[in-house]
Chain A
Amino acid sequence: MMPERNDAVTARLHPFTALTAAACTAVITTAAASWPLSITVALAAAVLAVRCGAARQVLAAAAVILVPLLLSLLVLHGLFFPEGHTVLAQWGPARVTAEGLGFALEVGTRTTACVLVLLLFSFTVSVPDLLAALAARKIPPQFGFVVASTLTLLPAVARRLDRIRQAQETRGMVVRGGLLARLGALRLQMVPLVLALMDDAGSRAQALEARGFGSPGPRTSYRDVADPPLQRHLRVAALVLTAAAFTARIVASWPAGGTA
């Protein structure tokens, strides 16, 4: 059973505030293009994830996305950066240049910061609150359902996989610790997983339809998500700040782009 996450920080935040904060941070970090800022943002996101009790999920998902990306950045720009002058080492056509490494660092830290911030949001946002907030803004519930299903898909798949694994273990399948053994076990679970998910979806669709989910017309919401004025002002301020940062970045790089 997964531990319930009830984080004091996100529990007080309206989902739109959290979303705005995450999106604005990502945009500003990208616009600033400064690796010290990127690293600071990434560290802050990691610390917040730990404090929210979501560190494991956020860091694991981030690792899956970032490790291949960072490695490819390093290979691509660290070894083959045409504008690089300061050669640190050379093997045939591959040259390690200071500029190349700097560029890889720049892009790598920026991507890391953005990915961490957005993952932090998706793993800590209260999905029911987000759904209720979307419904309150007259967003079609089907859209909300897709968002919610996407956010809850991984945990749902994990739960289902867990059940299949339990059923298989109960009938003598021994799952050992090694990576290869785990992958081998996973191979046995894939077909049952897909079939089970499809079967679930089929029976769920009938129930959803019967409960009026697909019907057009207005809707109400049982869940009441508080949206204090302070948070609304904060969201506006964050958006203005982001727009300013974006504009500043464009203005700053315009002459350079023009002369180039």
Chain B
Amino acid sequence: MTAAVGTALQARVDAFTFHGENTPALCDVAISVLPGCLTAVLGGSGSGKSTLGKLLAGWLRAGHAGQLRGSLELDGTRLDFRGLPEDPRINPAEWSRRVAFVPQDAAAMLSTVRATVAEELAFGLENRAVPRKDMLRAVEHTAARTGLTGLLARDPATLSGGELRRLAVACAVIAEPDILILDEPLASLDAAGAAQIRELVRSLCHAGSSTTPTGTATGNPTGVVLLSQSADTLAREATHWTVLDGGTVTATGTPAQLLGSAELERAGVLQPGAPGSGALHSDALDTGAGARGRSSAGGLRPGPAPLELCRVAFGYGHEPRRRGVPPEEQVLRRVLQDLDLAVRPGEIIAVTGPNGAGKSTLLRHFNGLLRPSEGDVRVCGRSITGVPVGTVAASVGLLFQHPRDQLFERTALREAAFGLRQLVGKAQAEGRARAALAAVGLSTADEAVHPAELSASQQRLLALATVLAREPAVLALDEPTVGLDRRGLERLGQAVAAAAARGTAVVLVTHDLAYARATAHRVLVLDGGSLRDV
């Protein structure tokens, strides 16, 4: 299946313009990927990284998705595109057999018709008629490399954000591509998950020392392209960096040459050491226990706690009816147990913990989207038992982990204004919505844009704006830093600090311990169903 010699991919994009657009999304971009090398394309949100990745991987096809002028060269075969109908056409299935892509939105990688993680992994192999015994071996091997072994029997729809990302990467790796393109692979991964991906990338680059997924020792090293808005530990292992800004290359060189450079800064790339540069700093989890950075956190305010959780317990899913088993023993997964939490006005609390620990589940208890099986949740001194979510929402704002779960309106402005009329009246609603959009850095030009057309970073900021516009007494943020570039992080930091200064109680869930320490008064870890201080 694989060529005897490693494949190199070379691309030259003079211009790539999406159909219906006037300005090119990419302009004067050249990149070459060598076997066994990690190449990083760094750039802020909306710089064109994902477009470039999809173009290289055949997910965006010339003529089909837009007009391409330039060339793609794979393993010595060069395809020239002049933006004309007679341009060569790429067969996406054949192309991606060689060049695999893992999108930023991991869920988009899944077939959705497979019942277990193991079958989802095997989906691509089934389509290529790999014999069943080879598939079994490949699934086992790939699962071990990506830390999915314990999850093979789970339904992919029930995986946590971090687990889903590892599955998406595994789905690409299992097909043994010559080139692997990873779009923000470390987003929403915990420290262990990020370490696993780093280890996987290293082993792919140095293949030959280990056996390939199907057990045959072909020893072809893979060329890996990393698309990232953070110069994180994985990016710093790259041999070559390309800095993308506004759809064009502004700098190229080795990490040593470009770290701290003005081009990197201008592009909005997160530099090492900056809070928010990902789970990559969470190796710090073991160090400095008890140290609590309060650099950006203001002072606490006196007064009753806007949010209290008392001995809260919760579990997911019940087994199907089984005779003779009392209902209380049928709970499959207990997520929260005897959990106590009180957040004071103006206090910022960060909650960390491994993927799947139940952090998102905890936040969904604050406004009643999930109800505890035991214990009580009190908002502004009142129990929310029996109170509709929509009513609690006047006091609790919740930012979901995935912006696409939060956004449903036709334009950014309508999105931010949804529900405001009932809260503050017609006269003020639009002004509030506009102010919230401006506070997160979305311009008046963005107001009329459909949320799905915004970049990932802007989508998260828009979701944040919808929450901020309501000025709730309790602000619950689920992984707010994921997908944000440096500018986005600054906006987030300002918004959180401003809310806390107004006396809002803030609870944020994050894998990024550096960010947690820099932002929060207290850092708690969710472990075994309850919270404890780090």
Residues of A within 8 A of B (CB): 1, 3-7, 53, 126-128, 131, 135, 141, 145, 148-149, 152, 156, 159, 163-164, 166-176, 189, 191-192, 195-196, 199, 203-204, 206-215, 217-224
Tell me the bound Cα distance from A208 to B92 in angstroms: 10
Partner of A191 from the list B93, B158, B410, B423 (CB cut-off 8 Å) is: B410
30 contacts between A and B (CB under 8 A): A3-B318, A4-B155, A4-B317, A53-B321, A126-B115, A128-B116, A135-B126, A141-B127, A163-B405, A167-B400, A167-B406, A167-B407, A170-B369, A170-B389, A170-B397, A172-B390, A175-B388, A175-B389, A196-B408, A204-B112, A208-B111, A210-B58, A210-B59, A211-B123, A212-B128, A213-B127, A215-B128, A219-B127, A222-B125, A223-B115
The answer to whether the Cβ of B398 comes within 8 Å of any Cβ in the partner chain is yes
Partner of A171 from the list B129, B321, B410, B466 (CB cut-off 8 Å) is: B466
Which A residues are in CB contact (< 8 Å) with B369? 166, 169-170
B side interface size, CB within 8 A:
75
Q: Mark B84-103, 1 if CB is under 8 A from A, else 0.
A: 00000001111011001101
Tell me the bound Cα distance from A163 to B286 in angstroms: 36
The reply to whether A215 and B127 form a contact with Cβ atoms under 8 Å apart is yes
Q: Quick one: closest B residue to A129, CB to CB?
A: B115
The answer to whether the Cβ of B380 comes within 8 Å of any Cβ in the partner chain is no
Q: Quick one: closest A residue to B387, CB to CB?
A: A174
The reply to whether B130 and A171 form a contact with Cβ atoms under 8 Å apart is no
Residues of B within 8 A of A (CB): 54, 57-59, 91-94, 96-97, 100-101, 103, 105, 108-116, 118-119, 122-132, 135-136, 139, 155, 157-158, 171, 175, 316-321, 367, 369, 388-391, 393-394, 397-398, 400, 404-410, 418-419, 422-423, 452, 466, 470
A164-B408, A222-B119 as given contacts; A172 in contact with B470, CB under 8 Å = yes
The reply to whether A203 and B103 form a contact with Cβ atoms under 8 Å apart is yes
Q: Quick one: closest B residue to A148, CB to CB?
A: B113
Besides A5-B320, A210-B101, A220-B135, 9 other CB < 8 A contacts? A3-B319, A145-B113, A168-B419, A169-B369, A169-B388, A170-B400, A172-B422, A176-B388, A212-B93
Which B residues are in CB contact (< 8 Å) with A212? 93, 96-97, 124, 127-128
The reply to whether B390 and A1 form a contact with Cβ atoms under 8 Å apart is no
Q: In the assembled complex, how far is the CB of residue A46 from the closest CB belonging to chain B, in whole angstroms?
A: 16
Q: In the assembled complex, how far is the CB of residue A195 from the closest CB belonging to chain B, in whole angstroms?
A: 8
Which A residues are in CB contact (< 8 Å) with B397? 170
Q: In the assembled complex, how far is the CB of residue B356 from the closest CB belonging to chain A, in whole angstroms?
A: 14
The reply to whether B113 and A167 form a contact with Cβ atoms under 8 Å apart is no
A1-B317, A199-B452, A222-B139 as given contacts; A211 in contact with B419, CB under 8 Å = no
Q: Quick one: closest A residue to B127, CB to CB?
A: A212
Q: In the assembled complex, how far is the CB of residue A63 from the closest CB belonging to chain B, in whole angstroms?
A: 22
The reply to whether B126 and A167 form a contact with Cβ atoms under 8 Å apart is no
The reply to whether A3 and B320 form a contact with Cβ atoms under 8 Å apart is yes
Tell me the bound Cα distance from A214 to B489 in angstroms: 40
A128-B114, A213-B111 as given contacts; A203 in contact with B406, CB under 8 Å = no
The reply to whether B96 and A203 form a contact with Cβ atoms under 8 Å apart is no
The reply to whether B97 and A3 form a contact with Cβ atoms under 8 Å apart is no
Tell me the bound Cα distance from A152 to B113 in angstroms: 8
The reply to whether A210 and B113 form a contact with Cβ atoms under 8 Å apart is no
Q: In the assembled complex, how far is the CB of residue B396 from the closest CB belonging to chain A, in whole angstroms?
A: 8
The reply to whether B111 and A223 form a contact with Cβ atoms under 8 Å apart is no
Q: In the assembled complex, how far is the CB of residue A50 from the closest CB belonging to chain B, in whole angstroms?
A: 9
The reply to whether A174 and B390 form a contact with Cβ atoms under 8 Å apart is yes
Q: In the assembled complex, how far is the CB of residue B411 from the closest CB belonging to chain A, in whole angstroms?
A: 12
Tell me the bound Cα distance from A166 to B320 in angstroms: 26
Q: Quick one: closest A residue to B368, CB to CB?
A: A169
Tell me the bound Cα distance from A255 to B17 in angstroms: 73
Which A residues are in CB contact (< 8 Å) with B110? 207
